Each structure stands twice: as structure tokens, then as C-alpha cells.
Chain A
């Protein structure tokens, strides 16, 4: 057990280190380094100046040397500055991660709340009309581009009906009297992003719940429970659902990766100030220090979540043995 945990932790660390190196190398291949920006800003610059600037910023050194310099800076707690906003990266990163966390968790909870009942309904009446309808809905959810759903939701609820705001995370210049006011106002801005982001997870979870519930209801102890005359509700919820839940927990934790992946587009579409949008806008704006740090931190978070999901599996299901 300890062995397994240690090995998984080491593996995750190695992935993060390799990823950071590859990512660092890729960033140097992106258009526009700081010196190029200065060249375009100042037409009088000479070749000697360019060379001097390059050596000043360390850009004349090979990638691996720059990488080690960067890593040792990170290790001392210096995440660097944003080239565009001239503020430390951690000041941009902190709130962005918080917003993405809120968005992802709300999405996960919402998709669970919708998907689990759907999956159970279709598992209890397999091959019925309602099962086929839910199945169609699931397939549509999986096959739908979430950003397109977001666009359609904006057109319906923000442009035509004017019920909900189209973008942002709170009403600008709003002063909150109570926590409740703040909750309601920010919640209003969350509805559309959460709806569009959760459609894919709803489809996936619902299909998963269905198959896992069907599997659970096929167990011998279900037949025993029925045979001894237990109420249908008790059989379904206490004996069936509790066993179907085990694989669901891990699927939820593992799907954080895809939720975060989708969150990048959703945040960009809804101008929601999360980590995904920070990654995207800093890459598009040639702000590579921010891009590197925000990309690595959020991807590491996802990997650590995956690791925890793996370990959690053993806690919820004692039958699992680690080898």
C-alpha cells in the first residue's frame, strides 16, 4: 500500500518536471520574445543593442540553462512578473485559481445532481422509451461542443430574454451589504457558464451511472434482498445505489481533468476571470511568464487531483488491492 502510494507520487512528480521542461521549450518557440517586442517598439535600435539586450535577459543561452535558472527562481519562491500588467504572477494566479475552483466544483456538483437520477431512472427501466430518451440526451451532451452551447445560452438568456448577464463574474462597481447579496449576484453570473460546462459531464456521468447501476442490480445480494420481501425503494437505494456509487466517486475525481480542460474555453467565452482564461489570454498576449506558471500550476493541480482519486479508490472500496 505505502509502496503503491509512493510510486504514484514519484510518477506524478516526474510527469510534472518533464512537462515543465517541454512546456518551457515550447514557450521559446512561440512568436515574439521580450527583445523582439522592444525592437518593434524602438526603430532606432542597433544590432549591438539587440545582442546586449539578449544577453541581459539571458535569451542567448540554450534552453536547458534558461530552464534551470527559471526553476531555481521558482524554488526560491519568485514566480516572476507579468510582462503585460507589471505585477507579480502570484497576484494574478491566486484569485484566478479560486474562481476556476468555484466554477469546476459547482459544475461537478450540478452535473452529479442531474446525471445520477437520470442514470438510475434509465438503469431501472432498461430498453424502455424513457431509457432511450435519456440515452439520446446523453449522447447529445457528449457530442455537443460546450462553447457552442454557451453561445446559444447567451443568445437565448442574455440577448433575447435579458434574464442573465452574458459575461463577467459580478456586477461591476457593486457594493455588497450582506454575504447573501454577494452570493446571489455572483451566482447569477455562474449560471450560464456552469450550464454550458456541465452538459458534457452530465452525459458522461449519466451513462456511467446507468451501466454501474445495472451492474450493481445484477448482484446476488439484490436478488436475496428482493426475495426476502424488502421494499423496492430500500433495494434500489440501500443495496443497489450504494454499490453503484463506488466507481462513480472515482469517475468524478478523474473527470476534474476534463472539466478543467473545458473550463478554459468556457471561461474565455464568458470572460470569467479563471485560470483557464489566464492561460489563454497570456499565451495570446505573449505574456509567457504568466502562461508558464499558470499552466504548470493548474495542470499540476489536476494531476494531484487524479493522484488523490486513485488513492481514494482504496478507501471507498476495501476490496481493491494495490500492487
Chain B
């Protein structure tokens, strides 16, 4: 901590700052900093990494609050409308008649008295052509949103009912920020739910595969000998294979043909679990190499010898004394691994072998959009941009963490 004292003194000597530094501040500077604090302050200096971290946080919030966003915008990711396919961004679309009638039916069932009053009013004011009170509200529901709203304003009914009817009329029209896709679903909401799937899969794969890598690397590094060379040959072999062709071959297998597996998996999440599993098999190798390397050097250190002398078991030595020391580089490779996994998920889904529709993921949205680059180019551009933003953020954060934990680059 000599260095810190020096900097503090230097600042003291500096005529510009000497007057502004109080005793408390100097004491603060002289205090011993914990490693996490050093890494944190070091990380803060990597501007791109900080921006990346905030971007990731933003996307995580989007993924978590996906249903809330859907409620606020009044659209969902699943309702289809074949009459409004491939609409351009920022289009307003009137909802299909049967859906509106369904809404009115529900309203009438819930509030029979108010509905009756409203129906009579509608007939009295000649807003509808029918004379049957039972049909009046249905006819009203066939109006455009603006006309329906105008009708409510002129009706002689109490304010609460007006508010309720307005809420109803608001849903006669939907607003699509990014337009609609090949089934008339809202592209924006699908992207938001796609964030959940794509990022969820990627984070899951990165964590699971680093655990596999940790285990294999630790075994190989700690025990050495035959175990080491066997495990490392497997690692080398897997690492040298071209990833996408291998992933395709594995992804194309039919899980139903493997006895016993089909009973474990339910139909709904089959493609997601399968994808996570496949990506895990082929992404633990870098972590394993890294962990093995660190453990090989740790094995020769005195504190390991000390705990061995004290009679610690292999398990204790590996988990209590070695793992904390590989944690920092592991964190870096998990972060970088998330970026890679997002790209691989997108690639496989783009080839139709990853996440299966109707579940939205950024990759399979691109797969659906590639047929239609003439009609709806935005559908092809936006999911890719999101992939780019998230992956670049994870890569920058990984880079920033790497710099932050590397003792050679630490500036005190």
C-alpha cells in the first residue's frame, strides 16, 4: 500500500489539489483496498465495458419484465392476425371483428346492467342501425377506434361506464412499433420474449459449460498423469472440430429415438433443453484448458503443500484452496462464453435446428424473416442488431474484466 501513500503525498504536493484534500480524504486513500474493490475501480475505467454492462442490465430488465411491457403496450407476442401480415413499422391495425365481439361479449357478461343502458343509449342516439338492444353493442364494436370513441363521448351515461368503454375501444386497434411478422404477430413483443429465450439459453449454457470445464480442468490439472493426458486429448479433439457442422449433426437427431429420453422431456420445452444440452457439450473446452493451466501452477505453491501436510483431502484442497484462485479468470470466460452462446444459438435457430417456433428467439425470427427480405426487410434487420448489441456488450464486459483482474495492468 506504499504506492497509495505515495499518490496521496503526490496529490498533496500538487498545488492545485492540496487545498481541496481534507484529512478524511487522505485517510480514505491510505486505507487498504480489497481486491474486489481494486477490480471494480479498474473495471470502471474501461469505458466500453461499463457501457456494455449497462446494456446487458437493460436487456435483462427487458427480459424479466416482458409481460409488463406487453400489458402497457396492449399487445402480446402470440395473438395472430392473418389479415395484417408483414405490416411496416409504426403501423396501426384494427383488430379482427371476431376478437372485438369476443371482448364485447365478455363485457356484457360481466356488466349486464351497464351494457343494457349503453345499448339503449346507442339506439336512441342513432349511432347504430339496429333496433335490437342485444345487437347494439356488437354493431358499435365494428366501428373504427376513433368513431367508437366519439360515440362514447356523446352518450348520456355515467363516467365510470365511459372509462370502461374507452378501455374497450382502445383495444379495437393495435399499434406495432416494429410492424408484424408472417402470422400478423407483433414483432416488437416477439423480440422482447425472444430476449428471454436467447439470453436465458446463453447464460444457462455459459454457466453449465463452465461448471463442466471447471470439473474436467480440475481433475486433469490436479491428478496429472493418465487422467490428464486422456482428458486433454478429448479436449484437444473437441476444440479442433469445426463447431457449426458438428452442432448440426447433433442437433438433427430425433430425441424420440433414444429410449428413455422421450419420457423425461415434455413437448413444450424440448427444443430449448436440447439446445442447451448440445451447446454445453461443445463449449466447455476453453474453460477446461484455462482451469487446468491455473491448477497446474497452483499445485506447486506452498500453501497447497501446507494444507496437504495438515492432512486436507483432495476434495478440500481443490474446492477450498484452488477454486477461489481460478474464480476470476473463470468469470471472464463465462462472460465471453455468453456472447459465443448467443451467436451459436442464433446460428442453429437460423438453420431451423435450434429453438422451434412458435417459441420466439432472435435466431428463429431471422430464420422466418429471410424468406421475406423483399417485403419486410426490418424483420430481418432488427433481431440481428439485438444479437450484435448483446454479444458486443458481453465481449466488452469480458474484455474489461480481463483487464481488471490482470495484475500486470492494475494501476494503483
Residues of A within 8 A of B (CB): 11, 15, 18-19, 23, 26-27, 29-31, 136, 139-140, 142-145, 147-149, 151-152, 154-155, 159, 257-258, 260-262, 264-265, 268-269, 276, 279-280, 283-284, 291, 295, 298-299, 302-303, 306
Contact = CB atoms under 8 A, between A and B. Distances in A.
Nearest to B380: A151
B364 to A, nearest CB: 13
Given A143-B388, A145-B343, A257 B240 contact: yes
17 contacts: A29-B253, A29-B258, A30-B257, A31-B254, A139-B48, A139-B392, A139-B396, A143-B392, A143-B394, A145-B387, A155-B373, A155-B377, A264-B248, A283-B252, A299-B242, A299-B245, A306-B240
A49 B232 CA distance: 49
A152 B388 CA distance: 13
Interface string B331-372: 000000001000100110011100000000000001001100
B42 to A, nearest CB: 16
Interface in B389-412: 391-392, 394-396, 399
A11 B258 CA distance: 30
Contact of A152 (B249, B347, B384, B396): B384
Contacts of A268: 351
B380 A295 contact: no
A316 to B, nearest CB: 20
Contacts of B347: 145, 147, 265
A152 B381 contact: yes
Given A23-B249, A31-B254, A279-B248, A148 B366 contact: yes
Contact of B241 (A19, A31, A144, A147): A19
B373 A159 contact: yes
A267 to B, nearest CB: 11
B31 interface: no
A264 B244 contact: yes
A264 B247 CA distance: 11
Contacts of B242: 257-258, 260-261, 264, 298-299, 302
Contacts of B248: 264, 279-280, 283
A29 B252 CA distance: 9
B240 A303 contact: yes
A151 B233 contact: no
Contacts of B351: 265, 268, 280
A154 B373 contact: yes
Chain A's interface: helix, strand, loop or mixed, by majority?
helix
B230 to A, nearest CB: 12
A279 B252 CA distance: 12
A135 to B, nearest CB: 8
Interface in B272-331: none
B41 interface: no
A7 to B, nearest CB: 11
Nearest to A305: B240
Given A143-B392, A151-B373, A280-B248, A30 B240 contact: no
Interface centre among B240, B246, B346, B396 (most CB of A within 10 A): B240
A30 B252 contact: yes
B237 interface: yes
Contacts of A140: 388, 392
B270 to A, nearest CB: 14
Interface of B: 48, 233, 236-237, 240-246, 248-250, 252-254, 257-258, 339, 343, 346-347, 350-352, 366, 369-370, 373-374, 377, 380-381, 383-384, 387-388, 391-392, 394-396, 399
B380 A155 contact: yes
Contacts of A264: 242, 244-245, 248
Contacts of B343: 143, 145
Nearest to B343: A145
Given A145-B384, A299-B246, 4 more contacts: A11-B233, A31-B257, A261-B243, A262-B244
Name the residue in A19, A23, A147 with the highest tally of chain B Cβ atoms < 10 Å from its Cβ. Answer: A147
Contacts of A149: 384
A18 to B, nearest CB: 8
Contacts of B394: 143
Contacts of A152: 380-381, 384
A283 B384 contact: no
B384 A151 contact: yes
A205 B258 CA distance: 42
Given A29-B257, A268-B351, A279 B346 contact: no
B245 A145 contact: no
A148 B384 contact: yes
Nearest to B241: A299
A155 B249 contact: no
Contacts of B370: 151, 269
A252 B105 CA distance: 67
B339 A143 contact: yes
A257 B244 contact: no
Contacts of B388: 140, 143-145, 148
A269 B242 CA distance: 18
Nearest to A283: B252
Contacts of B249: 23, 26-27, 279, 283, 291, 295
Nearest to B240: A306
A299 B253 CA distance: 19
B380 A15 contact: no
Interface centre among A149, A151, A260, A306 (most CB of B within 10 A): A151
Nearest to B363: A145
Return the 10 tightest CB-CB contacts between A and B, nearest first.
Answer: A148-B384, A143-B391, A143-B392, A261-B242, A261-B244, A29-B253, A31-B254, A15-B237, A29-B257, A155-B377
